[in-house]
Structure 1
C-alpha cells in the first residue's frame, strides 16, 4: 500500500495552535484565519504511514509546497498522500533510504495545495 487518504477539518484553533508553535503571525483573508504555509505537515501527525518502518530513525530531508489557494479556517481538506519514490543509498556510516512523498489536498474538489516531502530513513530497517 503506497497511497493513503484522510479528511482533515482545519479549525481556527488548529491554525492558531500551529502558528504559535512555529512563532508565525496570524493572518486573515476575508475575516478568516489563513494557515501558515507549512501547515500541511500536520497530515503526518493525523495518519499512521504504513510503508514507513516503525523502528526506523527518520530525518526530515526536504519539503516544498505549491499553493493554488490559501488554507483557511473552516475548510475540510480531502488529502491523498502517496509514496512516489524510494531510493536506497549508502551513507558514511549506514544505509539510507530516501522516501519521496506527494501530498495533494483539495477542498470541495478544488486543488488547494500540493506538497513534496523527502524523509530519510537511517539504518538497516530503512
Structure 2
C-alpha cells in the first residue's frame, strides 16, 4: 500500500472560500464555521501523489464521505492519503486501471472523516 501524510490547519477563510466556490451556505456550530461536507476533495492538493502523476487522463469513478464529526475552523487535521486498491479490467478503449484512494483525517487522534475516491485510468499503468 502506498501512503502519504500531511497536516492541515483549517481556517475560517479556507472554509469560506471553498463554500463560496461551490455556492454552499456557510454553517456554524458554537460560533465556528463548519466546512461543507465535500471540502476534503481539495485536501488532495496538499499531497504530492506520485501514483496519480500520469500523462493519461483520469476519469472520476465514485466518491463517498463518511463523517464521525464535522470539520470545524480551527482544527488541525492529520491526514493520511492511501492507495488502498488497484484493479484492472478490459474496457472498450483498452485496459482500465481502477485506483481506490482513501483519505483519513483525524484531529487530536480522533477520526473526523474518511473520503474514498475511485479514479480510472485508460491504458496500462505502472503500480
TM-score, normalised with respect to structure 2 = 0.92
On the 8 A contact 1:7/1:76 being kept in 2, the answer is yes
For structure 2, which runs of at least 5 residues remain unmatched after alignment? none
Residue 109 of structure 1 deviates from its aligned partner by 0.9
Moved over 4 A (4+): none
| CA–CA distance in structure 1, aligned partners of residues 24 and 123 of structure 2 | 35
On the 8 A contact 2:97/2:124 being kept in 1, the answer is no
Aligned to 1:29: 29
| CA–CA distance in structure 2, aligned partners of residues 123 and 23 of structure 1 | 36
| CA–CA distance in structure 1, aligned partners of residues 54 and 84 of structure 2 | 19
For structure 1, which runs of at least 5 residues remain unmatched after alignment? none
What is the DSSP-based 3-state SS (H/G/I as helix, E as strand, rest coil) of the residue aligned with 1:51? helix
Q: Deviations over 1:70-120 (max 9, x none)?
A: 001111100001111001112212321100011110011111011111011
TM-score, normalised with respect to structure 1 = 0.93
Please, what is the CA RMSD of the aligned residues?
A: 1.4
